[in-house]
Homo-oligomer: A and B are copies of this chain.
């Protein structure tokens, strides 16, 4: 095996790695995920191991570039962070969606929160806090969205924490 071949092999290996953004397959702990892989892993965690949710697969069909940005940035880079625990990260996100009044995203992430074990009572706390941060209408509109979600998940009504 001569030197030229070896050097070429190194360069080839590097080029392959660069183009696919894949990490090496040689065993080494811990494996560094690509942004795409990280996004898919988080999505899979959101859906309790069911992979990419149907609404996201539809986005990939309609607007592949937008889906790609969403998966890598919003899901991978941001929701893939590990400083806060999964439940808190979703509650914080829900507070932002409720303040903005962006209900499609609020509903999807409230489902993810339930999947992570956040209780309906804890989700209601986001509503109460929203009355202070953003006013009653935003809170009541988000509560209406939670009602839909709770019905879809057979959550028992009424939801109250009996404080």
Contact = CB atoms under 8 A, between A and B. Distances in A.
Mostly, the A contact residues are helix
Interface string A86-106: 001101111111111110110
Nearest to A6: B6
A91 to B, nearest CB: 5
A143 interface: yes
Q: What are the 3 A-B residue pairs with the smallest beta carbon separation, nearest first?
A: A96-B133, A102-B137, A99-B99
**Within the oligomer, what is the number of copies of this chain?**
6
A131 B69 contact: yes
Nearest to A12: B10
A158 B62 contact: yes
Nearest to A3: B1
Q: From A62, A92, A157, name the one whose CB has the most chain B CB atoms within 10 angstroms.
A: A92
Interface of A: 1, 3, 6-7, 9-11, 13-15, 17-18, 23-24, 26, 28, 32, 59, 61-66, 69-70, 73-74, 77-79, 81-84, 88-89, 91-102, 104-105, 121-122, 124-141, 143-144, 147, 157-161, 163
B73 A77 contact: yes
A84 B91 contact: yes
A63 B143 contact: yes
Given A95-B96, A99-B96, A158-B61, A66 B137 contact: no
Contact of A131 (B9, B78, B102): B78
Nearest to A127: B66
